[in-house]
Chains A and B, each alone.
Chain A
């Protein structure tokens, strides 16, 4: 099942609710870039509150999504990363450096406002 992408003004909001397999992750990457292109969105919030595992593959896809969106002119903020997920990521050796994060969706939107200066 594809991950739904909602549009709110100039922003795209995504809340990942399902177990992400590799195919879903890659499909999401394509869908999001396509949606940024079509809507001209300038900011994206990806909420990971319901995600209880991020392995190196999913981390790579997320990192790539952020860089690719950036190239297209959209800032991405990741929100709601669970403590257990943050710890396992660091132990895997994955630091997701330079990726803006926030505690929850609301804080993510505030961060986008700040970063985009609107």
Chain B
């Protein structure tokens, strides 16, 4: 397995591509089936957000294999409009597109670590990591 991988998100179909890569890497890192589904779902949410709100960006995958810890780090990077109020978008049900508003709070629950860096007019980077138990 390549320890690193990236999927450019530009078209709607790229969302499917990103979650397939996510599942493949999760499987190879020996995550259980439920964690594979969690990771693939989280990636699907992040990829769709890029497609919907930033037009273009990337999902970067980084396999972490150290002596006592194995994990998958997912980074969603875009050069979109940025997020004005992080606490607002992290609320369940908050959506500016008529969606369910479950994406970001959901990703935070599905993954073990979660971080947002964003700047208005510059873009957003969301990093989420899951550890093999």
Contacts and interface: CB of A to CB of B under 8 A. Distances in A.
Nearest to B20: A19
Interface string B1-43: 0000000000011011001100100000000011011101100
Nearest to A92: B106
Interface of B: 12-13, 15-16, 19-20, 23, 33-34, 36-38, 40-41, 44-45, 48, 92-93, 99-100, 102-103, 105-106, 109-110
A87 B34 contact: yes
A92 B37 contact: no
Contacts of B40: 52-53
A83 B12 contact: no
A16 to B, nearest CB: 14
Contact of B45 (A56, A60, A87): A56
Nearest to B93: A93
Contacts, number: 78
B100 A56 contact: yes
B45 A88 contact: no
Contacts of A83: 34
A84 B106 contact: no
A115 interface: no
A84 B34 contact: yes
Nearest to B36: A84
Nearest to A22: B12
A59 interface: yes
A93 B37 contact: no
B76 to A, nearest CB: 14
B15 A56 contact: no
A93 B105 contact: yes
